[in-house]
Amino acid sequence: TTTLSSCEAEFIALKEAIKEQLYLIEIYKQLNIDKFLQKEETTKFYLFSNS
């Protein structure tokens, strides 16, 4: 039925979002961003630049 198909699609989307979040957490840990930012108080981490 359509309802079951929609529910299944939502479940799969949630599962993929969780996998992506876990992947990003691992990258964050590997980069040691916390330690990098604590080395110098004036250090800033920019994901995007306004140039």
Tokens 């079951």 found at = 4
Q: Is the pLDDT of residue 47 over 90?
A: no
pLDDT of 49: 62
45 pLDDT tier (thresholds 50, 70, 90): low
Q: Are 33 and 45 in contact (CB under 8 A)?
A: yes
The mean per-residue pLDDT over the stretch 28-42 comes to 70
Q: Look up residue 41 and give its two tokens.
A: 């108080």
Q: What average pLDDT does the segment 31-38 reach?
A: 70
Q: Is residue 33 part of a domain?
A: yes
Is 50 part of any domain?
Answer: no
Alpha helices in the chain (DSSP H): 2-31, 33-39
Summary mean pLDDT of the chain: 78
Number of domains forming the structure of the chain: 1
Mean pLDDT to the nearest integer, 33-38: 67
| CA separation for the pair 8, 1 (Å, rounded) | 11
Q: What is the extent of the structural domain holding 10?
A: 2-39
